[in-house]
Structure 1
Amino acid sequence: MKTNSSVAPSSFEFTVFSDLGSLRYLFFCLCLLLFMTIISANVVIILSVCLEKSLHQPMYIFICCLSLNSVYGSVGFFPRFLMDLLSDAHLISRPFCFLQIYVIYTYASCELTLLSIMAFDRFVAICQPLLYHSRMTLGAVLRLWLFAVLYPACACGFGLYLTAHLPLCGNQLPRLFCSNWPVVRLSCVDTALNNIVTRFVMITTIFIPLFLVLYSYLRILLVCRRSSAEFRGKALQTCLPHILTFVTYTFCVFCELSLTRLDADTLNPIITGVLSFEYLIIPPINNPLVYGLRMHQIRGASFRLFRIHKM
């Protein structure tokens, strides 16, 4: 509920949390187990790629970056969420709220930019195999990774800067965690500039990467149509993990974007909760499962890592 005061609130209140009673401890244990599983699974992928010299190739380096991003996003969400599950007062300070927005939004944007770069890597490997090693050098991989990280960091930072300077007339957020649009809706002044910047950031960090992924796979499909069945089988084998990851994350992002267009105050809290943190839970646990189980190189390196640890 908005008030007539335009003084910036010192804290925000999450209104989606309901009184769970003794069930809060069950949910806390389940979410803590999920958090530990996400961290452990992604750390295994990271260590496997870093320690196994045969995996020091562009495709595996990008998979490692994807796991690093999953750890980053999970650490930005789960600790605070676990505290709220056990707390009676669901208040978060203003600075920490904006910090959480920044971490979660940069995680979400980096996930898509990394997936688009991985699609480009597969496009070059399949459609231009003779040029692959000359194009996807270590320097090129580093530059692509820096762009995938720095552009979302700057774009999301600028959008959050505008939000942080808005005079607000309330402090209630119908979310399980801090999100930019619910904070903007609390503004006492016109938010046209924020809306323009938000749309620009969404286009450049969500829709353009989505277009690049679709374009890359269209080109791959055209090449496969003119190739042998054996070539198509190898192309599908190397692309399938990325396709599964991309489709899963796209669906989760679609759910989050749909929630921003709905009035969360009129929705069932359970629906709001599920739609709001799907992209924070499903991709971080899905990525290591897909790449760890589907790609025998990473699976073999992971087993060797465990054997070395036991010795």
Structure 2
Amino acid sequence: VGEISPLIVFNHSSSRLNETVNYRITIFSLTLLYYCMILFFNISIIMIVILDQNLHEPMYILLCSFCFNGLYGTTGFYPKLLLDLLSSSQQISYEGCLLQAFVMYSFACCELSILAVMAYDRYLAICRPLHYNSVMTKMRLSQLICFSWLTPFCIFSISIVLTSTLKLCGSKIPKLFCVNWLIVKLTCPGTDTVSSNILSYATIIIFVCHGLFTIWTYMHMIRTCLRSKDDRAKFMQTCVPHLVSLVTFLVVILFDLMYMRLGSTDLPQSIQNFIAIEFLLIPPVMNPLIYGFKLTKIRNRILGLMYVENK
């Protein structure tokens, strides 16, 4: 196959939705309903935190950032999937594919960065309570939020720019959405991908460090909580939701990455599709629900609103 122009239209997952042709409207309706649930839950948490002055604390502002990232990532996927379900051919332009790859990667790494910052916040609250207010100032909080968003954005902006310069000899993305690694695999034989590979390994190292930092903070928090009943109560109240979110996200991401590189293509198409999108299915709904029910201030605020509406 000859070199493909940058204006290529990708055969985006054309075989991935073939099994749904007989019940596509049903799947479209369920997907739309699920996406609306994601929007509702995450926007509700964001609005509750913004409108309630009592929730203008670092932990809740970071939760806002967390929910906003969930909206960002799912908006990069679900609208396109809904269009694909209504279309006879699933295609996406080369530019659109690069943009979607950027959104998917930056969403996943923003999630990990925000979880690391939230772990740092809880570490200060539990292990350094006397220094918490002096360290976690509005300026420091702003810097941490900017770090958690700008680091992935800068890294993957460079990555996508490097990918856009590669010569391609293929056009089929064997996935429900575009990812940078699969685009690079479409390059012509002999194409120099050294720069992209170096950046990929550097990115892995950076975000593995995020994960190690988060583990380090939890080791210190658990050790501190073993010595104090009050700290154990604070840990159960504010850290368990964060820990559940972290473990869930890491499990689904690692499972997807391992399957993408090592998995068998003999699995039923529906299972392959689920594996591909589980990190866009589970965390965006589970996170606001866990935080909404577990964090006392947010739960009380939600119950208060429900009580007012019922009256």
Residue 129 of structure 2 aligns with which residue? 129
Count of aligned positions: 307
Offset of residue 258 of structure 1:
0.9
Residue 193 of structure 1 aligns with which residue? 195
SS in 2 for 1:246: helix
Residue 141 of structure 1 aligns with which residue? 141
Does structure 1 conserve the Cα–Cα contact (< 8 Å) formed by 2:256 and 2:275? yes
Q: Deviations over 1:169-219 (max 9, x none)?
A: 010010001111111100011323212211211221x31111111000001
SS in 2 for 1:68: helix
TM-score, structure 1 length as denominator? 0.93
Q: Deviations over 1:93-132 (max 9, x none)?
A: 1111111111121111110000000000000000000000
Residue 155 of structure 1 aligns with which residue? 155
**C-alpha spacing 1:231/1:297, structure 2 compared with 1 (3 Å):** same
Aligned pairs for 1:158-307 within 5 A: 158-188=158-188, 189-204=191-206, 206-225=207-226, 227-262=227-262, 267-305=267-305
Aligned pairs for 1:33-182 within 5 A: 33-182=33-182
Does structure 1 conserve the Cα–Cα contact (< 8 Å) formed by 2:19 and 2:269? no
Does structure 2 conserve the Cα–Cα contact (< 8 Å) formed by 1:6 and 1:168? yes
SS in 2 for 1:261: helix
Q: What's the RMSD between the two structures over aligned residues?
A: 1.8
**C-alpha spacing 1:218/1:269, structure 2 compared with 1 (3 Å):** same
**C-alpha spacing 1:248/1:221, structure 2 compared with 1 (3 Å):** same
Unaligned runs of 5+ residues in structure 2 are: none
Does structure 1 conserve the Cα–Cα contact (< 8 Å) formed by 2:3 and 2:167? no
Offset of residue 278 of structure 1:
1.1
CA distance in structure 1 between the aligned counterparts of 2:305 and 2:164, rounded to whole angstroms? 45
CA distance in structure 2 between the aligned counterparts of 1:180 and 1:264, rounded to whole angstroms? 20
Q: Which moved more, 1:283-292 or 1:194-203?
A: 194-203
CA distance in structure 1 between the aligned counterparts of 2:264 and 2:84, rounded to whole angstroms? 19
CA distance in structure 1 between the aligned counterparts of 2:159 and 2:177, rounded to whole angstroms? 18
TM-score, structure 2 length as denominator? 0.93
Q: Deviations over 1:210-262 (max 9, x none)?
A: 1111000001112123x133432332222111011111111111122113313
**C-alpha spacing 1:263/1:161, structure 2 compared with 1 (3 Å):** farther
CA distance in structure 1 between the aligned counterparts of 2:61 and 2:141, rounded to whole angstroms? 8
**C-alpha spacing 1:9/1:264, structure 2 compared with 1 (3 Å):** farther
Q: Which moved more, 1:265-274 or 1:288-297?
A: 265-274
Does structure 2 conserve the Cα–Cα contact (< 8 Å) formed by 1:174 and 1:264? no
Match of 2:224, as an amino acid?
Answer: V
CA distance in structure 1 between the aligned counterparts of 2:294 and 2:18, rounded to whole angstroms? 40
CA distance in structure 2 between the aligned counterparts of 1:40 and 1:29, rounded to whole angstroms? 16
Does structure 2 conserve the Cα–Cα contact (< 8 Å) formed by 1:9 and 1:171? no
Offset of residue 306 of structure 1:
5.3
Residue 27 of structure 1 aligns with which residue? 27
Task: Give the % identical residues.
Answer: 36
CA distance in structure 2 between the aligned counterparts of 1:265 and 1:12, rounded to whole angstroms? 21
SS in 2 for 1:12: strand
Residue 12 of structure 1 aligns with which residue? 10
CA distance in structure 2 between the aligned counterparts of 1:283 and 1:200, rounded to whole angstroms? 26
